[in-house]
Amino acid sequence: MSGQNQLAGETSPYLLQHAGNPVDWRPWGEEAFELARSLDRPVLLSVGYSACHWCHVMERESFEDEATAQLMNEHFVSIKVDREERPDVDGLYMSAVVSQTGQGGWPMTVFLLPDGRPFYGGTYFPPEARGGMPSFRQVLDGIAQAYRERRDVVERQAAELAATLQEGRLGPPPAGFTLTPATLLDALLTLRGQHDERNGGFGRAPKFPPHSVLTFLLRMHRRSGSEEALAMALRTLKRMADGGIHDQLGGGFHRYAVDAIWLVPHFEQMLYDNALLARAYLAAWQVTGDEQWREVAEGILDYLLRELALEHGGFASAQDADTDGVEGLTFTWTPEQLRAVLSEEDAALAERTWGVTPDGNFEGATVLSLVAPPESDDERARLVLIRAHLLEARSERPQPALDDKALASWNGMALAALAEGARLCRRPDLLTAAERCAAFLLGPLSHPDGGLWRTHRAGRSQVPAFLDDYAQVATGLYELYLTTREHRYLAESHRLALLARERFGAPDGSFFDTAHDAEELVARPRELDDNPTPSGNSTLAGLLLRLGRTYGEPELERHAQAVVAQVGNLLARAPQGFGHLLGVCDALLAAPREAAVIGPADDPATGELAAALLAAYEPDLAIAFGDGEDDLGIPLLAGRALVSGRPAVYVCSGFVCAAPATDAHMVRTALLNANQT
């Protein structure tokens, strides 16, 4: 076949990358399955994403190969899915692959009956058999033959896999579990046993940034004063910041390190990683007061504004792992390249600081990492200029491709990070970006029925939003409320959170990932683990808990309890998979605390009191802002007034408030006293 296949009309950059393949690709939809039924062929489902290195490899090796494409076109109906657009499809069939093979990843290849039930799957298949792996064409031949000649075996396998998926997604919560402080301590002890005391992080290579686990460790330090929890968090944050996984020039973080020392990354850069890491570093700054963590966080947020910001106010999903088909081409340096940009003296300082050598550490070049920190104020000042020169020179190189689709959930994470960065670092540019992002989410990504779309690109919003979209957007709006003190953002956060409860709620109080009126799949997805991002369940549970305490709606707490109950003892046994949910557990176990900030919005004294309140690391404090006249329907504001005409902060526990604080010192004292009760 020549020309373009059925993907040419899609907006996903990943699908469009395959629009010129000789494979007769079709997008996910009933039309493709109806064709499979009419032709009595199995469906070949291929799932990946645009920044995926091995997805590109398999495309070059197999999907661009005429002979392979002929096999696919003759025996299968082939469907391409962008996992970022359809996390429900990806998650469901990834579960099938993991249950069969014990591992998952992308690209993912799954073979389905025409009714959508999977019967065989895997990840990357090479063009030639090697390392115990069959070639992709061998797999195609074998599956086609089995479908023709051993249909009973295929049907039986599909029935068993479908039953496994349905049981796994809808099973009852584990019996005999009660959440207690010991649950958190046991999780901490498990993490201690998995922690790499030399290099930070958990386990062995490859290493992924454990954003949610790091914030849990900071919470544990706050809860109990655990120096061990703080040390694990700070060691990991430091090793990551100094390593090659952190773009030493541009400030962003790559997806993961292929080694145990955070040196050589897989070079893709994802919006969600950077948004979540920015908040982890900001939290470390709040906890310790150490400026190095603020600098890393601001560098990440600067990267978002420089590289991922889109004209409509939203943010792109990712930058590719490859540049012109070569992994890391944009980011690595040789001594000769440094000397082409810098003076001899500055090049020598750059080589020493970032470990640039003639031999390199990655395919003959060097991934920059902090090998020798500056030894004086003069060197620090010079490195600021050197970094700027090198970043400018690097911008003239070929750049990795940008996946410029904007996803609701990931933009919600970016909104939260920008809003928090704006208020803690007092950066008006970050606030402007946050407000533009919120306008995008509440504009082009909002559905006429009051809900949300999942994705937007090329002027088109499409795919009804999933649970994590609602949860993350509502969380981002809540954080923007804390920064701007504008009630409309709190109201929208509350509305979307309650709408999500209505559309995604399960009978037990937890949540499905798809809405009640969504397309029916083989099983209805319900993800609970927080990898690679916080699950929609844990995110919405935590937000509902905080909103319930703000609005005086204690029934919202039931959802947090239900989600925790679904996971049960796994919280302590597998804490790496539930970092965000462990934070929800911490909030559930803590005494409810609230704060009302009363004062005119345009009074600088109100702003200073709010800043003093928000500077502390208080991740569960429910906060409301009012003028002392209108309670805005928020019980926390009812009866709270100015004090002798001056703005004031009321710090409360269970809506029982201490004496109002009218200056920053009094605010800090009131918070300290509340934490000790």
Q: Kindly report the pTM of this predicted structure.
A: 0.95
Q: Is 167 exposed, middle or buried (0-12, 13-18, 19+ CB in 10 A)?
A: exposed
Q: Assess contact for 674 and 664: CB atoms under 8 A.
A: no
pLDDT, tens digit, for every residue of 104-126? 999 999 999 999 999 999 999 99
- Check pLDDT > 80 for residue 175: no
| Domain 13-170 in CATH 3.40.50.300 | no
Over the stretch 39-81, which tens digit does the pLDDT of each residue have? Answer: 999 999 999 999 888 999 999 999 999 999 999 999 999 999 9
- Say if CB 479 and CB 435 are below 8 A apart: no
DSSP per-residue codes, 534-556 = --HHHHHHHHHHHHHHHHT-GGG
Binned at pLDDT 50, 70 and 90, residue 172 comes out as: low
Tokens for 16? Answer: 């469009």
So what's the pLDDT on residue 243?
98
Mean pLDDT of 617-622: 95
Residue 677 confidence (pLDDT): 64
Under 8 Å between Cβ of 674 and 658: yes
- Contact in structure between 510 and 171 (CB atoms under 8 Å): no
The DSSP output letter for 376 is S
Strands 322-323 and 326-327: antiparallel
pLDDT band, very low/low/confident/very high, at 171 (cuts 50, 70, 90) = low
AA identity, residue 401: A
Q: What does residue 299 show for φ and ψ, rounded to 5 degrees?
A: -65, -40
Rg (CA), the chain: 26
pLDDT at 170 over 60: no
- Do 13-170 and 593-676 come out as alike in CATH topology? yes
Residues 182 and 193 sit within 8 Å (Cβ to Cβ): no
Element (H, E) at 302: helix 291-303
Q: At what angle do helices 428-441 and 467-484 cross, to 10 degrees?
A: 140
Total number of residues shown for the chain:
677
Does position 169 have pLDDT exceeding 60, yes or no?
Answer: no
Residue in 247, 249, 564 with CA at minimum distance from that of residue 257:
247
Residue 561 is encoded by which pair of tokens?
Answer: 């309890």
Q: 571 falls in which pLDDT band (50, 70, 90)?
A: very high
Percent of the chain with pLDDT over 70: 99
Which pLDDT score, from 0 to 100, does residue 167 have? Answer: 76
Q: How confident is residue 576, by pLDDT bands cut at 50, 70 and 90? A: very high
CATH number corresponding to 593-676: 3.40.30
Of 565, 585, 560, give the one whose Cα is nearest residue 220: 585
SS (H, E, C) 62-82: HHCCHHHHHHHHHHCEEEEEE
Give the residue among 375, 337, 376, 383 at the shortest CA–CA distance from 356.
Answer: 337
Mean pLDDT, all residues of the chain: 95
Query: CA–CA separation, 215 vs 75, rounded Å?
Result: 49
Residue-wise pLDDT tens digits, 358-383 = 999 999 999 999 999 999 999 999 99
- Mean pLDDT across the stretch 338-353? 97
Q: Are 240 and 192 in contact (CB under 8 A)?
A: no
State which H helix or E strand residue 45 sits in. strand 43-48
Does position 459 have pLDDT exceeding 60, yes or no?
yes
Reply yes or no on whether the pLDDT at 2 is more than 70. no
Q: Strand 453-457 to strand 318-319: parallel, antiparallel, or no bridges (unpaired)? A: unpaired
Residues 510-552: tens digit of each pLDDT? 999 999 999 999 999 999 999 899 999 999 999 999 999 999 9
Per-domain boundaries in the chain: 13-170, 181-322+403-589, 331-397, 593-676
How would you classify residue 559: left for phi > 0, otherwise alpha for psi between -120 and 50, otherwise beta? alpha
pLDDT confidence band for 1 (50 / 70 / 90): very low
Task: Classify domain 181-322+403-589 by CATH architecture.
Answer: Alpha/alpha barrel (1.50)
Does residue 107 have a cis bond before it (omega within 30 degrees)? yes
Helices (H), 150-180: 151-170
